Amino acid sequence: MNGNVIPLISEDEIHGTVRELGRQISSEYDGKVLHVVGVLKGAWIFMADLVRRLTIPVKTDFIAVASYGSGTESSGTITLVSDLRDSIEGKEVLLVEDIVDTGLSLQFLLETLWERKPQSLKTCVLLDKPDRHAAEVNIDYLGMTVPDRFLVGYGLDYDEQFRNLPYIGYIELKNHID
């Protein structure tokens, strides 16, 4: 894939959105300790910025799932690649995800984490492609909705490339089936 990345969401726009999410989450969890769980790999850059906007006590952990190979379409089968390090039983948990496409990953994660009896479990998602949902998922804190394009940058990859772009853009893929 040698195509160009066409800018869609600027660095400033991303940071404004993350600041607003941070404000909202900090005020809603006031007086509590929040266990922020990032979904690897896509969410790590977003999570790093988000937690620095939280003014409440925060603990962090990560979980990794895979649904995509090197292509751009969900395989439909979600696998747990790497589990949390700590128990979330009785804790206030916020699951942080980069993007919801079909929603299958988030659905799998919510089912998996609810079984572990957290006190509460909410979701914070930077980007949502509402036209693509195949599963019912509840997004409690949403950054922005995006069109059905294959997005890269700010943690999002195409075949592990482009995660380091400070902005979000899309790539035109010859083999992308809409």
Other Cβ atoms closer than 10 A to 146: 20
Cβ neighbours of residue 142 closer than 8 Å, sequence gap 6 or more: 124, 125, 128
Is residue 162 near ligand IMP by the rule CB under 6 A? no
Is residue 101 near ligand IMP by the rule CB under 6 A? yes
Note whether 154 and 13 are within 8 A (CB).
Answer: no
Q: Tokens 């699951």 correspond to what residue?
A: 95
Other Cβ atoms closer than 10 A to 95: 23
Which of Mg ion, ligand IMP, none does 49 bind, CB closer than 5 to 8 A by kind? none
Q: Using CB under 6 A, count the residues that bind ligand IMP.
A: 18
**Which residue lies nearer to ligand IMP by CB, 102 or 123?**
102
Site for ligand IMP in 131-150 (CB under 6 A): 150
Is residue 112 near ligand IMP by the rule CB under 6 A? no
End-to-end CA distance of the chain: 18
For residues 39 to 78, the per-residue mask of contacts with Mg ion, x marking binding by CB under 5 A and - elsewhere, is: ---x------------------------------------
Q: Which residues bind Mg ion (CB under 5 A)?
A: 42
